[in-house]
């Protein structure tokens, strides 16, 4: 407005000197104003376009640069990364849902004590093929009767053919990296066939003497031994309860005070006890079982004990008449601690 006023005053001064008509004065003023306003309007428009273009370019640069910074980390050298850092968004392992289970191992703890974990080692051609470890998911002890499962896929590399299976058990949860493992006294040498399930029992009486026994092809009905009832046969129930592997001859004599017959066979000694008043075995064979005498009740039970070189019981068996069903049964404990119980007569 000041410019306009100054010009207007100037024109008035000219008007006084030259006495221009009023309409000409108005045209001159409008023309001057138009020329004065034109450069100002053009400059503002150019500046606005410049600012808008700059903002668009900056926005595009930000959009392009953000993925490069956070995904590829191309602006940070490896030497600048902190030591011990973990990879961001690691690629998950690729799993093949079609990978079939070749072998399954079911191991039942039949020991009279709890264990914490099992490690199964499988060897083929002298090489360790697999050594998985398994335990209860909640960390609780593996109690008697609990079953631990191991699965081997095709990718694990087990082949059809012979293999050695070895088991190690941990009795207690390791503390501060310490782990004390125990291995059964004997390893199972077995043949692998394609897509087969195996069943093992962990049997024995103590940490010093227990076994991994393959019962895959066994009749589990006769191996799942229940407690013999006294009303079925008092003698057999007593032997099952009080006998164990490793008993000495003196300990056996303290349990059973009747006479026994002794014999040497196959380089070892064994005893036979006949439980029956005034009974005399009709068999010449020292190891013979008087099945007919048992069925007729002439003898209530016959006990056979096999001794090792240290005069300790390494296996034993008792044949007895079950008074409840009238059948003759065989209850025995093998050298590896396995028990077997089944009827031998109808």
Q: What is the pLDDT along the chain (346 residues), one digit of tens a residue?
A: 444 455 455 545 544 544 556 666 566 666 655 655 555 444 444 455 556 666 666 666 666 665 555 554 443 344 343 333 333 334 444 444 455 767 888 999 988 899 999 998 888 888 898 899 999 989 899 999 999 999 888 777 777 778 888 889 998 887 766 678 888 866 667 667 665 788 888 888 788 778 888 888 788 888 888 999 999 999 999 999 999 999 999 999 999 999 999 988 666 898 999 999 889 888 888 888 999 999 999 999 999 999 998 999 999 999 999 999 999 999 999 888 888 999 999 8
Start-to-end CA distance of the chain, whole Å, equals 131
pTM above 0.85, yes or no: no
Spatial distance between the Cα atoms of 309 and 185, rounded to a whole number of angstroms: 18
The most distant pair of C-alpha atoms in the chain lies apart, rounded to whole Å, by 171
The contacts found for 32-36 with CB under 8 angstroms, 24 or more apart, are 32/7, 33/4, 36/3
For residue 15, CA distances in Å to 1, 31, 36, 51 come to: 20, 16, 21, 45
Give me the pLDDT at residue 229, please.
96
């Amino acid at each position: 407005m000041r410019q306009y006023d100054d010009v207007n005053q100037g024109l008035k001064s000219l008007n006084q000197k030259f006495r221009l008509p009023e309409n000409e004065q108005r045209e001159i003023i409008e023309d001057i104003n138009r020329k004065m306003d034109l450069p100002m309007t053009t400059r503002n428009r150019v500046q606005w376009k410049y600012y808008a273009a700059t903002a668009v370019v900056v926005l595009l640069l930000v959009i392009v640069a953000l993925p490069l910074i956070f995904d590829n980390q191309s602006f940070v050298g490896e030497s600048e990364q902190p030591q011990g850092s973990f990879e961001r968004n690691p690629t998950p392992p690729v799993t093949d849902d079609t990978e079939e289970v070749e072998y399954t191992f079911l191991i039942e703890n039949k020991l009279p004590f709890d264990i914490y974990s099992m490690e199964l080692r499988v060897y083929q051609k002298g090489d360790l093929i697999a050594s998985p470890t398994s335990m209860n998911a909640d960390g609780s002890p593996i109690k008697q009767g609990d079953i631990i499962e191991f699965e081997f896929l095709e990718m694990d590399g087990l082949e059809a053919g012979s293999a050695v299976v070895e088991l190690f058990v941990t009795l207690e949860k390791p503390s501060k990296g310490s782990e004390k493992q125990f291995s059964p006294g004997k390893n199972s040498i077995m043949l692998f066939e394609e897509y087969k399930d195996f069943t093992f029992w962990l049997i024995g009486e103590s940490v010093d003497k227990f076994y991994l026994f393959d019962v895959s092809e066994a009749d589990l009905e006769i191996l799942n031994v229940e407690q013999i009832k006294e009303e079925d046969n008092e003698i057999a129930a007593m032997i099952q309860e009080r006998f164990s592997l490793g008993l000495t001859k003196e300990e056996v004599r303290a349990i059973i005070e009747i006479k026994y017959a002794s014999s040497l066979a196959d380089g070892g000694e064994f005893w036979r006890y006949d439980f029956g008043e005034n009974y005399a075995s009709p068999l010449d064979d020292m190891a013979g079982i008087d099945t007919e005498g048992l069925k007729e009740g002439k003898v209530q039970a016959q006990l056979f004990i096999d001794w090792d070189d240290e005069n300790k019981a390494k296996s034993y068996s008792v044949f007895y008449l079950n008074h409840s069903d009238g059948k003759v049964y065989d209850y025995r404990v093998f050298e590896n601690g396995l028990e077997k119980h089944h009827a031998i007569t109808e």
